[in-house]
């Protein structure tokens, strides 16, 4: 039987962004309890969750990604502000968003991937808009009200330096006691 892999497509975060997000995490750890904080070496921005795939399907996805990235140039973005899913009163996830002034090339990449993945059967329509973000941490159960934390000016005004997207990766996701572990299956450089 072919090996099955939970997989997703993501943008890895450059080292400068990882360091800055680590600092943000440390500041939040003093204010927020009960969070399983994300591991810095696993920080990423998810573009598409693919579900459980076999090796043939992973190859098909990779072929589609390769056709997309051949026409996309590296682009800049910055991370900004902190939020919670589903909301700050009932948080399950604490995240940092992408500065809106830098969204266009990221959304264009997401749409290009969607157009290639949909005919292959690897795109799942969602009931929510694409909201690029980096997950800082997850609550094992619904967390307490974080409205006062998320509304702090220093949290809302937090912004990373300008970061460069120069590759797209396919990752596997393996569940573990301390949260999922992500491993790179394939890397595609933007041209």
Instruction: Please write down the HEC assignment for all residues of the chain.
Output: CCCCEEEEEEEECCHHHHHHHHHHHHHHHCCCCCCEECCHHHCEEEEEEEEEECHHHHHHHHHHHHHHHCCCCCEEECEEEEEEECCCCCCCEEEEEECHHHHHHHHHHHHHHHHHHHHHCCCCCCCCCCCCEEEEEECCCCCCCCHHHHCCHHHHCCECCCEEECEEEEEEEECCCCCCEEEEEEEEECC
Which of 3.40.50.970, 1.20.1260.120, 3.40.50.150, 3.90.1140.10 would CATH assign to domain 5-189? 3.90.1140.10
Q: Is residue 144 scored above 90 in pLDDT?
A: no
pTM of the model: 0.91
Q: Where are the domains of the chain?
A: 5-189
Q: Is residue 73 scored above 80 in pLDDT?
A: yes
Percent of the chain with pLDDT over 90: 62
Q: Is residue 124 scored above 80 in pLDDT?
A: no
Q: What is the mean pLDDT of residues 180-185?
A: 90
Q: Is residue 123 scored above 90 in pLDDT?
A: no
The per-residue pLDDT for range 21-62, each reduced to its tens digit, is 999 999 898 888 888 899 999 999 999 999 999 999 999 999
């Amino acid at each position: 039987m072919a090996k099955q892999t939970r997989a997703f497509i993501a943008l890895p975060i450059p080292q400068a962004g990882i360091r800055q997000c680590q600092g943000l995490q440390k500041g939040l750890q003093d204010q927020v309890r009960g969070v399983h904080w994300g591991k810095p070496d696993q920080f990423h921005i998810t573009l598409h969750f693919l579900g459980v795939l076999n090796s043939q399907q992973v190859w098909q996805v990779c072929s589609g990604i390769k056709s997309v990235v051949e026409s996309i140039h590296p682009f800049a973005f910055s991370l900004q502000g902190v939020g919670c899913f589903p909301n700050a009163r009932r948080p399950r996830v604490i995240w940092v968003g992408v500065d809106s002034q830098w969204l266009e090339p990221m959304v264009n990449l997401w749409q290009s991937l969607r157009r290639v993945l949909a005919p292959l059967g690897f795109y799942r329509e969602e009931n929510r808009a694409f909201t690029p973000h980096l997950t800082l941490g997850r609550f094992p159960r619904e967390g307490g009200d974080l409205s006062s934390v998320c509304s702090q000016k220093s949290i809302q005004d937090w912004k990373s330096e300008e970061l460069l997207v120069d590759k797209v990766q396919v990752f596997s996701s393996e569940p573990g006691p301390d949260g999922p572990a992500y491993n790179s299956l394939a890397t595609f450089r933007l041209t």
